[in-house]
């Protein structure tokens, strides 16, 4: 048996959008029949197919059966069910459609997901007589989890309820409420009889009371999935090829763009390089930009260890590295997923062992009943906390659907999959493996030599307020008196340690977190870490204070915005005014001034020396500086 | 990125995944339009070279034009070509109808080649739009130790995450052009300038849509004498691609039986 349909796409009319739709719903609600009817109504059936189906039906002593068109397998025909997903093409007036027929049986949920995961939109089918069933709700839930937001609902077998508008209204309300609760707005709810053809391509007298779109019209309104080009660059490394003198990093651009000359970061290691060339065949190297979906090969300007599983992003806009993930997953394996088990996690091209640290939530999406969250049963959904044995580069699924999803493998087979809810780069995974090494020196030994205790001096304020100037003068002053001050300037660290971070709120928070960690480490070892960073967020500075504890001293350089802009030592204000620095703090007014800092300095009426003296006084009063006995004597 | 670029990029991704995740790969070359596109895609994926053998399981019954094509392009494309013969017809399940039985020789030939070389992955150029059971295929499709396809127990495959761990003795079929259509193949062949066997072009009102063995493949009525004309013909024809393949029409389930037993 053969299905041939007219070609869906010819070079000549490549402008027609191609949409992939999946037909889902409870078993026996009429998916395959609808598919058969759709192909027939859109003139997509090959010659002789109708006659052949009639013959097959007659041979089995059955009335004409549309579903035999797709349910090609003998077992499917014998049992009247769809076991596995099928893809077939047809055309609506303005779309090329790849139609994915997905099985409704609960046992074949993995096949439904296999089919639906490739779809841009979905048709959810409901039997008018039976109404909304468990599997209807489950499929709705999974569509949402798979990221499918365009869902057209068809209420089938209206002939079995005498085309009752009231019955249709009840079902329509129930399913709309369910989908809305999942964050999906149905694009249409359509009363049909797939077997008879009502509502499929034409509104018939039977449903004269209905004035919405037909199924064909509803499909014609679905749009291809949103392009991923607009997101930041993510290149999933598949392999490194060294077939000749080139060392080619091969992989697919999951989102964003790249071109030769770009500054890139290779995550999770955070190595920095420049793209030297984009390689191709038969022509190489290739010029121009390459966007999401492309499989490319690039060479780098330096010899770096890059490997399969790495993710390449642009400098300043790279994904996070983490060994700890929170994910919402659907589970397909016979054995329930429990806390404490070891699984294989695959995220893009990275593969790593992982431990299920906790099951946070478990729900049967069929009846939406929450269960005791100790395990996730087959065909159920849950939220889990994973500890990975290797670091991975990932994004939360909300930020990037491609680098924010994972699958779980058991015994070499995909057993579940889901979305990354959060990437916890702050927490180290598998804390049992990490044994911090203590300094060989006692805190008192350094304090005795430096005549100060360890501290974090956190200078915050608008760009141009004078933070760095005071911090440097203070550094000199403390060193001259025999101390061990260390300047941590925000911009300086961004050039190296933090070069993978951009200026999004999340990246800024991470920037401050790292500054805070380093400063706290220095302070714990008796040094005075002088941090000069705009650090505009109250919450971020509060986090830094938590890390350093009682060694933290906040100094607010409260110079007014007008004075700062007048000074403009780095030319940033001028550049920002002309639109060249979109995320610049100061013009954008996103600076949150401290409410309770240890010291406030306004440099408008204060010399650098006076400012440093005020800091020293504060440090002496808050037990950071240890007054010399000799000095004390001089004051007597 | 246009439609053909998208198809190409996805196929390259699949080929690279296969190469990265399986130890001993081979690419099945039937010399037809689909497997020629597939070899072309492999050369794109691996920057000009095909880093695994091209396996031709030879029934000995191909058209002379096909053998000539093989000999020229195996050399020009620098392929590591392995030609393995199929066993004689009397070693094949006698309950199969004649054409299917003839085709089943290829399954047996495949099994012998698998045993001989120990491949754990076979890259094959099948497409979903060709035939209804192929439409149900996975991209990475596990085969049993006997080469069989268990259609009732196919693993989940989504988000381009493929199952690539065949149990010992078993192998995987990898289908890098599963998502292409017949028209895509021709449009791409034209765009890339991939050579074709002239049997696909009309002579005396007939041409081959699909090339199999001489004894079980027949030409269809057509005046399409260039790729452009083939593309135009495909716009309007309702004749299925495998109409000229005798084995598809012998019994309702002949093809499914073949595929479950390991046929492509």
Q: Which tokens in the block code for residue A114?
A: 């296999």
Place B251 in a pLDDT band, splitting at 50, 70 and 90.
low
> Which of A111, A117, A252 has the CB atom closest to B154's CB atom?
A111
What pLDDT does residue A73 have?
47
Residues B49 and B7 in one domain: yes
DSSP designation for B53: -
Q: Looking at A342-351, B38-47, B150-159, which range is the least confident one?
A: B150-159
The share of chain A scoring above pLDDT 90, in percent, equals 43
Closest approach of A107 to chain B, Cα-based (Å): 10
Contact A9 B16 (CB under 8 A): no
Interatomic CA distance for residues A411 and A406, integer angstroms: 16
**pLDDT tens readout for residues B69-127:** 999 999 999 999 999 998 888 888 888 887 788 778 888 888 889 889 999 999 999 99
Whether pLDDT at A128 is above 90: yes
Contact B20 A239 (CB under 8 A): yes
Determine contact, residues A215/A192, Cβ cutoff 8 Å.
Answer: yes
Closest CA to B141 of A319, A250, A33, A84: A84
Higher pLDDT, A393 or A113: A393
| B187 located within any domain | no
| Nearest residue in chain B measured CA to CA from A98 | B179
Q: State the CB neighbour count (10 A cutoff) for residue A27.
A: 18
ipTM entry: 0.92
**pLDDT tens readout for residues A472-516:** 999 999 999 999 999 998 878 887 888 878 777 778 888 898 999
What pLDDT does residue A582 have?
65
Residues B70 and B105 in one domain: yes
| B189 located within any domain | no
Which residues 40-69 of chain A have a CB within 8 Å of chain B?
45-47, 56
Q: Which of A535, A560, A597, A607 is catalytic?
A: A535
What pLDDT does residue A235 have?
97
Q: Which residues pair with A321 in a beta bridge?
A: A393
Place A13 in a pLDDT band, splitting at 50, 70 and 90.
very low
Residues B160 and B203 in one domain: no
Residues B214 and B169 in one domain: no
Q: Looking at A127-141, A446-460, A559-573, which range is the least confident one?
A: A559-573
Determine contact, residues A254/A403, Cβ cutoff 8 Å.
Answer: yes
- For the domain that residue B51 is a member of, what is the CATH number? 3.40.50.620
| Nearest residue in chain B measured CA to CA from A87 | B135
What pLDDT does residue A589 have?
57
Q: Strands across the sheet with A552-557, in order?
A: A485-489, A528-532, A455-460, A552-557, A599-601
Q: What range does the domain containing B74 cover?
A: 3-180+256-260
**pLDDT tens readout for residues A310-363:** 999 998 899 988 889 999 999 989 999 999 899 999 999 999 999 998 898 888
Closest approach of A256 to chain B, Cα-based (Å): 13
Whether pLDDT at A26 is above 50: yes
What pLDDT does residue A427 have?
46
Decide: residue A129, CB within 10 A, 0-12 exposed, 13-18 middle, 19+ buried. Answer: middle
| B188 located within any domain | no
| B217 located within any domain | yes
Domain count for chain B, please give it: 2
**pLDDT tens readout for residues B212-234:** 877 778 888 999 999 999 999 98
| B171 located within any domain | yes
Longest dimension (CA), chain B: 51
Q: Which residues of A touch B235 (CB under 8 A)?
A: 6-7, 10
Mean pLDDT of the A153-166 span: 95
Determine contact, residues A119/A20, Cβ cutoff 8 Å.
Answer: yes
Residues B16 and B41 in one domain: yes
| B31 located within any domain | yes
Residues B149 and B50 in one domain: yes
Interatomic CA distance for residues B1 and A291, integer angstroms: 8
Residues B157 and B204 in one domain: no
Q: Is A498 helix (H, G, I), strand (E, B) or coil?
A: coil
| B190 located within any domain | no
Residues B175 and B209 in one domain: no
Closest approach of B11 to chain A, Cα-based (Å): 9
Residues B227 and B103 in one domain: no
* Catalytic residue status for A117: no
Question: Which helix (H) or strand (E) covers residue A275, if one does?
Answer: strand A271-279
Place A281 in a pLDDT band, splitting at 50, 70 and 90.
very high
- A87 at interface of B, judged by CB pairs closer than 8 A: yes
Closest approach of B181 to chain A, Cα-based (Å): 7
Q: Looking at A199-213, B82-96, B173-187, which range is the least confident one?
A: B82-96
**pLDDT tens readout for residues A80-101:** 444 455 677 788 888 888 888 7
Place A70 in a pLDDT band, splitting at 50, 70 and 90.
low
Higher pLDDT, A565 or A208: A208
Higher pLDDT, A235 or A37: A235
Residues B35 and B164 in one domain: yes
What pLDDT does residue A456 have?
96
Residues B140 and B202 in one domain: no
Higher pLDDT, A428 or B6: B6
Contact B132 A3 (CB under 8 A): yes
Residues B44 and B137 in one domain: yes
Mean pLDDT of the A282-292 span: 95
| B186 located within any domain | no
């Amino acid at each position: 048996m053969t299905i041939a349909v007219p070609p869906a796409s010819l070079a000549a009319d490549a402008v027609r959008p191609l949409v992939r739709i999946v037909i889902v719903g409870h078993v026996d609600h009429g998916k395959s029949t609808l598919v058969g009817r759709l192909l027939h109504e859109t003139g997509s059936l090959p010659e002789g197919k109708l006659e052949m189906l009639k013959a097959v039906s007659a041979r089995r002593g059955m009335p004409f059966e549309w579903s035999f068109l797709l349910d090609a397998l003998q077992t499917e025909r014998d049992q009247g069910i769809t076991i596995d997903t099928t893809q077939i093409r047809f055309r609506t007036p303005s779309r090329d459609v790849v139609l994915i027929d997905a099985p409704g049986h609960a046992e074949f949920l993995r096949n439904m997901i296999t089919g639906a995961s490739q779809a841009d939109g979905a048709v959810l089918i409901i039997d008018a007589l039976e109404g909304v069933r468990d599997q209807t709700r489950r499929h709705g839930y999974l569509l949402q989890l798979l990221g499918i937001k365009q869902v057209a609902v068809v209420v089938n077998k209206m002939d079995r309820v005498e085309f009752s508008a009231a019955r249709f209204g009840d079902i329509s309300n129930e399913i709309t409420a369910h989908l809305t609760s999942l964050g999906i707005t149905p694009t249409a709810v359509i009363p049909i009889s797939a077997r008879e053809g009502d509502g499929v391509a034409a509104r018939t007298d039977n449903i004269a009371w209905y004035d919405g779109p037909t199924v064909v019209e509803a499909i014609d309104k679905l749009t291809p999935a949103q392009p991923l080009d607009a997101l930041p660059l993510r290149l999933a490394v598949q392999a490194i090829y060294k077939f000749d003198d080139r060392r080619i990093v091969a992989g697919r651009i999951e989102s964003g763009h790249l071109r030769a000359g770009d500054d890139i970061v290779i995550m999770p290691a955070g190595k920095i390089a420049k793209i030297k060339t984009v390689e191709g065949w038969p022509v190489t190297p290739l010029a121009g930009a390459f966007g999401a979906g492309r499989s490319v090969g690039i060479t780098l300007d330096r010899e770096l260890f890059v490997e399969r599983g790495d993710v390449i992003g642009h400098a300043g806009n790279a994904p996070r590295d983490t060994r700890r993930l929170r994910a919402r997953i659907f589970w397909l394996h016979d054995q329930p997923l429990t806390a404490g088990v070891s699984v294989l996690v695959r995220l893009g091209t990275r593969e790593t062992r992982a431990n299920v640290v906790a099951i946070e939530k478990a729900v049967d999406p069929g009846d939406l009943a929450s269960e005791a969250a100790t395990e996730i049963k087959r065909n159920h959904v849950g939220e889990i906390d994973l500890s990975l044995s290797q670091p991975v580069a990932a994004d939360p699924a909300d930020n990037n659907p491609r680098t924010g999803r994972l699958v779980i493998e058991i015994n070499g087979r995909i057993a579940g999959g889901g979305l990354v809810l959060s990437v916890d780069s702050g927490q180290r995974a598998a804390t049992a493996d990490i044994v911090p090494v203590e300094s060989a020196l006692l805190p008192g030994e350094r304090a005795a030599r430096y005549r100060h205790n360890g501290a974090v001096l956190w200078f915050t304020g608008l760009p141009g307020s004078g933070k760095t100037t005071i911090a440097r003068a203070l550094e000199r002053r403390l060193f001259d008196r025999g101390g061990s001050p260390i300047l941590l300037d925000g911009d300086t660290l961004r050039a190296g340690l933090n070069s993978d971070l951009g200026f999004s709120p999340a990246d800024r928070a991470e920037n401050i977190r790292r500054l805070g960690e380093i400063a706290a480490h220095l302070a714990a070892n008796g040094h005075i870490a002088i941090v000069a960073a705009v650090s505009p967020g109250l919450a971020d500075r509060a986090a830094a204070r938590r890390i350093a504890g009682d060694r933290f001293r906040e100094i607010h350089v409260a110079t007014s915005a007008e004075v700062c802009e007048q000074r403009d030592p780095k030319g940033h204000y001028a550049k920002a005014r002309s639109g060249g620095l979109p995320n610049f703090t100061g013009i954008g007014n996103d600076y949150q001034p401290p409410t309770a800092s240890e010291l406030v300095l306004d440099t408008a009426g204060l010399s650098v020396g006076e400012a440093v003296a005020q800091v020293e006084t504060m440090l002496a009063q808050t037990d950071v500086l240890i007054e010399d006995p000799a000095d004390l004597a001089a004051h007597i | 990125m246009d439609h053909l670029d998208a198809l190409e990029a996805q196929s390259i991704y699949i080929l690279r995944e296969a190469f990265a995740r399986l130890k001993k790969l081979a690419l099945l070359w039937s010399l037809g339009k689909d497997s020629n596109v597939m070899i072309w895609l492999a050369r794109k994926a691996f920057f000009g070279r095909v880093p695994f053998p091209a396996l031709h399981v030879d029934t000995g019954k191909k058209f002379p034009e096909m053998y000539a094509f093989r000999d020229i392009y195996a050399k020009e494309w620098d392929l590591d070509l392995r030609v393995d013969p199929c066993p004689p017809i009397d070693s094949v399940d006698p309950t199969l109808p004649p054409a299917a039985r003839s085709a089943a020789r290829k399954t047996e030939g495949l099994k012998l080649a698998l045993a001989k070389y120990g491949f754990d992955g076979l890259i094959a150029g099948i497409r979903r739009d060709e035939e209804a059971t192929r439409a149900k295929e996975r991209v990475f499709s596990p085969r049993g130790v006997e080469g069989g396809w268990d259609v009732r127990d196919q693993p989940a495959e989504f988000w381009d995450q493929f199952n690539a761990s065949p149990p010992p003795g078993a192998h995987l079929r990898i289908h890098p052009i599963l998502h292409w259509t017949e028209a895509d193949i021709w449009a791409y062949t034209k765009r890339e300038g991939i050579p074709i066997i002239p049997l696909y072009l009309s002579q005396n009102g007939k041409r081959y849509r699909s090339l199999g063995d001489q004894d079980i493949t027949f030409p269809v009525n057509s005046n399409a004498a260039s790729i452009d004309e083939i593309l135009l013909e495909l716009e309007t024809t309702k004749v299925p691609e495998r109409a000229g393949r005798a084995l598809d029409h012998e019994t309702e389930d002949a093809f499914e039986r073949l595929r479950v037993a390991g046929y492509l």
